[in-house]
Structure 1
Amino acid sequence: MEPTTDLATCLLCGAGASPALNLPRFAGASCQGCAQRVGHLLVQEPTLLTDIWPLLADDAELEEPEPTVQRADGKTVELRQVIAEMKRELSVEDRMKLAEMYGEIGLIREQLEECGRVLVAASAPALAQRALDVLFSPELCSPRGIEELRGRLFPA
């Protein structure tokens, strides 16, 4: 779904959202600023969001030792370090494609985290919309996701 230029009210902060990033499942929209705040939470504190995105809690793979690889200089490093270095070179568009690919191969936690990174960095509303479409899909987000998220972003 494409973002709209119509002025809508953000479901999270209550301010006007233009462009409005559509959240059709929740019959409303998000502003770009709140979408970015959601991204920051996903990147910085994903474990605090497991009631919104339950698949963030899937830590079964964390119980196994991280694979290591040997660099050309002979140094041995964890595979996740090499992957993180490679991802730093990706554009925001490529990170969104990576997030979509993660979903296709069943790496949902990684998909959610990449969508968070896209929201943090996306200046184009269309990219932010793609990330929100994934994050707030019925398969990934709890039915009370917006209400829970509003409380995290704007505690009383």
Structure 2
Amino acid sequence: MEPTTDLATCLLCGAGASPALNLPRFAGASCQACAQRVGHLLVQEPTLLTDIWPLLADDAELEEPEPTVQRADGKTVELRQVIAEMKRELSVEDRMKLAEMYGEIGLIREQLEECGRVLVAAPAAALAQRALDVLFSAELCSPRGIEELRGRLFPA
């Protein structure tokens, strides 16, 4: 779904959202600032969001030792470090493509985290919309996701 230039009210902060990033499952929209706030939460505190995105809690693979690889200089490092270095070179568009690919191959936690990184980068509205479409899909987000997020972003 494409973002719209119509002025809508953000379901998270209550301010006007233009462009409005559509959240059709919740019959409303998000503003760009709140989308970015959601991204920051996903990147910085994903374990606090498991009631919104239950698949963030899938930590079975974290119990296994991280594979290591040997660099050209002979130094052995964790594979996770090499992947993080490679991802730093990606454009925001490429990170969104990576998030979509993660979903296709069943790496949902990684998909959610990449969508968070896309939102943090404050991309064009079309990229933010793609990330939100993934994050707030019925398959990934709890039915009370917007209400829970509102409370996390704007505690009373």
Counterparts of 2:119 and 2:44, CA distance in 1: 13
- Structure 2 counterpart SS, 1:142: coil
TM-superposed deviation, 1:47: 0.0
Please state whether the residue corresponding to 1:94 is helix, strand or coil: helix
Contact 1:35 1:128 in 2 (8 A): yes
Contact 1:52–1:142 under 8 Å retained in 2: yes
DSSP-derived class of the 2:4 partner: coil
Conserved in 2, the CA contact under 8 Å of 1:39 and 1:115? yes
How far 1:122 moved relative to its partner? Answer: 3.2
**Runs ≥4 residues deviating over 2 A:** none
Checking the alignment, whether the CA contact within 8 Å between 1:95 and 1:118 is kept in structure 2 is yes
Cα RMSD for the two superposed structures: 0.3
Q: TM-score under structure 2 normalisation? A: 1.00
TM-superposition CA deviations, 1:8-44 (whole Å, max 9, x none): 0000000000000000000000000000000000000
2:47 is aligned to 47
List per-residue Cα deviations over 1:29-70 (Å, max 9, x = no partner).
Answer: 000000000000000000000000000000000000000000
SS at match of 1:146: helix
Tell me, in whole angstroms, the C-alpha distance in 2 between the residues paired with 1:102 and 1:123. 20
8 Å Cα contact 1:56-1:109 kept in structure 2 = yes
- The alpha-carbon deviation at position 123 of structure 1 amounts to 2.5
Q: 1:100 corresponds to which residue? A: 100
Alpha-carbon shift at residue 150 of structure 1 (Å): 0.2
Local SS of the residue matching 1:69: strand
Write the distance in 1 (CA, Å) between the matches of 2:18 and 2:145. Answer: 22
Residue 84 of structure 1 aligns to a residue in which SS?
Answer: helix
CA distance in 1, matches of 2:33, 2:99: 21
Task: Give CA deviations for 1:122-145 in whole Å, capped at 9, x if unaligned.
Answer: 320000000000000000000000
Provide the aligned length of Structure 1 versus Structure 2.
156
Looking at structure 2, the residues matched to 60 and 6 of structure 1 have their Cα atoms a distance apart, in angstroms, of 43
Q: Is the 8 A contact 1:92 1:122 kept in 2?
A: no
**Partner SS, residue 61 of structure 2:** helix
Q: Distance in 2 between matches of 1:63 and 1:120?
A: 28
Write the distance in 1 (CA, Å) between the matches of 2:60 and 2:10.
36
Matches within 5 A, 1:1-150: 1-150=1-150
Q: Distance in 2 between matches of 1:122 and 1:112?
A: 16
